[in-house]
Amino acid sequence: MTFDIGIPLPALLSQLLLGLVNGAFYAMLSLGLAVIFGLLNVINFAHGALFMLGAVLAWAGMEYAGLNYWVMLALSPLLAGALGVLIEKTLLRWIYKLDHIYGLLLTLGITLVIEGVLRSIYGVSGLPYSPPELLQGATDLGFMMLPNYRAWVVVASLVVCIATWYTIEKTKLGAYLRAGTENPKIVEAFGVNVPLMVTLTYGFGVALAAFAGVLAAPVIQVSPLMGQNLIIVVFAVVVIGGMGSIMGSILTGLGLGVIEGLTKVFYPEASSTVVFFIMVIVLLLRPAGLFGKEK
Amino acid sequence: MSTNASNVPALEIKDLHAWYGESHILHGVDLTVNRGEVVTLLGRNGAGRTTTMRAIMGLTGARKGSIKVDGKETINLPTHKIAHYGIGYCPEERAIFSSLSCEENLLLPPVLKGSSQGMSEAEIYEMFPNLKERKQSQGTRLSGGEQQMLAVGRILRTGANLLLLDEISEGLAPVIVQALARMILMLKKKGYTVVMVEQNFRFAAPLADRFYVMEHGTIVERFAANELQAKMPVLNELLGV
């Protein structure tokens, strides 16, 4: 079956799925970035490196300890989250009172350290990682072949993103986070240990990035540089979506992934720049972002 | 509510100095509030009254001196620990959160350690029926009067027995100001200790047991309610009342 635009349906749907997969990574990473920026006022450039660290830990778990994908899916975020807590307590807390630029510079430095150390050990060529046996192969849906692992990535990401959104917007814990983002001093005056909440929030954002990294390991080549390519696009996603809304970050990430995927089908030359093109337009027309609130 | 059997003051401030960065705002404040009293802090704008409240909560820059809550020293503690000594703080700017609903705002402050819950949610809604009607509204969509009631209501649930109220009558319609006055008398009957910063002299005067007047970051006058009449000329001069 062929559309009159000349693209066979299975090919179109397959690109759409790839777009959704990328969109899922954009959503998870921009969500973590937005939450961290909201509460800590830090532009966490290290997000890409921590995503990469999650993937490398998954590979290392298999390589050195024979730990399978499912174990690392839980363990890698925990380890990365612990590193995040350490980074916050030893480095980040000194720069909160300063201009945003210092947060960006500090986390850029952290990125270079993490990437540099891993690059010196493993080089820049990829570390092989296959999907778990359970998710290998594809399912025949009739109108297309659905790659099992990629479908899992989209489903797992959506579940995690929705769970995060629900926790932040609908629970008491989320209320503390939202209030703490608005006026941390008053929340502290109510007796809430805001410094602890800040530390744990950063740890959570990092864990989320690492979780995305483990999900990515079988589909994106695991290498110390895999975060670099992604983080720039994620920044653009965050700018487009705006910082104010959790659901906004998720929808924008997914949407831009799909747009990127579709662009690859119809105008492949533009696929790596379409996100930035959209970012420029959004900045001109709606600087706070599509879902953003003017601060 | 925790009870205090002895005569230890609810709040005892000695020689308190406080800074915002390099600015030296409080120059040795001495203040005592006994359990169950209502004390009003008077003074012109810029006298240091709000800074005194903020200093008690640890929200200023550097502090020096002594602040004892129920006899326990708090001058070196971080803000979130100070609150758990039984203090409920209602800031001048109200600080209602726009990303929370009215109900979420009301329930946000946790019940303080070592206290049982103060007023129940139901009791607070009985006192402020408007808040019940507007439960699901976004916090900042409430009217000024409703936001003020919310700001006070939320600290009554926490089991705090020392209330710091900063300009709660400011900008409110007379009928709401009267409601707040009745609320303070009711709280006093229930044994709460209240420190109020107030510009509105007519609101504060009938409520307070004792008065302190601040100027240039220190206390310049202190007297009891029964001396108020005699002190009117002095107050006229200091406050333009």
Full DSSP string of B180-234: HHHHHHHHHHTT-EEEEE-S-HHHHTTT-SEEEEEETTEEEEEEEGGGHHHHHHH
Please give the span between the terminal C-alpha atoms of chain B, in angstroms, as a whole number.
37
Q: Which residue of B has its CA nearest to A196?
A: B80
DSSP string computed for B32-66: EE-TT-EEEEEE-TTSSHHHHHHHHTT-SS-EEEE
Are the Cβ atoms of A179 and B113 closer than 8 angstroms?
no
Are the Cβ atoms of A179 and B158 closer than 8 angstroms?
no
Chain segment B14-72, per-residue pLDDT in tens = 999 999 999 999 999 999 999 999 999 999 888 999 999 999 999 999 999 999 999 99
Of A20-29, A67-76, B1-10, B165-174, least confident by mean pLDDT is: B1-10
pLDDT given for residue A258 in this prediction: 94
Mean of the per-residue pLDDT values of chain B? 91
Are the Cβ atoms of A181 and B99 closer than 8 angstroms?
yes
Q: Which residue of B has its CA nearest to A246?
A: B99
Chain segment A8-23, per-residue pLDDT in tens = 888 888 888 999 999 9
- Does A65 contact chain B (CB < 8 Å)? no
Instruction: Inform me whether the pLDDT recorded for A295 exceeds 90.
Output: no
Band the pLDDT of A290: cuts 50, 70, 90: confident
Instruction: Inform me whether the pLDDT recorded for B143 exceeds 70.
Output: yes
Q: Are strands B87-90 and B162-166 parallel, antiparallel or unpaired?
A: parallel
Are the Cβ atoms of B110 and A193 closer than 8 angstroms?
no
Instruction: Inform me whether the pLDDT recorded for A46 exceeds 50.
Output: yes
Q: Which of A175, A183, A195 sits opposite B95 (nearest CB)?
A: A183
CA–CA dist A175, A192 (Å, integer) = 12
CA–CA dist A206, A193 (Å, integer) = 20
Rounded to an integer, the average pLDDT of A108-127 is 92
pLDDT given for residue A4 in this prediction: 60
Q: Which residue of B has its CA nearest to A176?
A: B108
A184 contact residues in B (CB cutoff 8 A): none
Are the Cβ atoms of A193 and B80 closer than 8 angstroms?
yes
Q: Minimal Cα–Cα distance from A295 to chain B, Å? A: 12
Nearest Cα to Cα of residue A244 among A31, A15, A10, A20? A31
Q: What is the largest CA-CA distance in chain A?
A: 65
In degrees rounded to 5, what are phi and psi of residue A289?
95, 165
CA–CA dist A55, A50 (Å, integer) = 9
Chain segment B15-25, per-residue pLDDT in tens = 999 999 999 99
Write out residues 21-40 of A within 8 Å (CB-CB) of B.
none
pLDDT given for residue B73 in this prediction: 96
Rounded to an integer, the average pLDDT of A284-288 is 88
- Partners of residue B39 on adjacent β-strands: B195, B210
Q: What is the ipTM of this complex?
A: 0.91
Chain segment A222-265, per-residue pLDDT in tens = 999 899 888 989 999 988 988 777 888 899 999 999 999 999 88
Q: Minimal Cα–Cα distance from A248 to chain B, Å? A: 15
- Does A247 contact chain B (CB < 8 Å)? no
Rounded to an integer, the average pLDDT of B148-165 is 94
Instruction: Inform me whether the pLDDT recorded for B5 exceeds 70.
Output: no
pLDDT given for residue B1 in this prediction: 46
Mean of the per-residue pLDDT values of chain A? 90
Domains, chain B, with CATH or none: 11-239 (3.40.50.300)
In degrees rounded to 5, what are phi and psi of residue B23?
-80, 120
Q: Minimal Cα–Cα distance from B23 to chain A, Å? A: 18
pLDDT given for residue A197 in this prediction: 95
- The more confidently predicted of residues A213 and A292 is A213
Band the pLDDT of A150: cuts 50, 70, 90: very high
Q: In chain A, pLDDT over 70 holds for what percent of residues?
A: 97
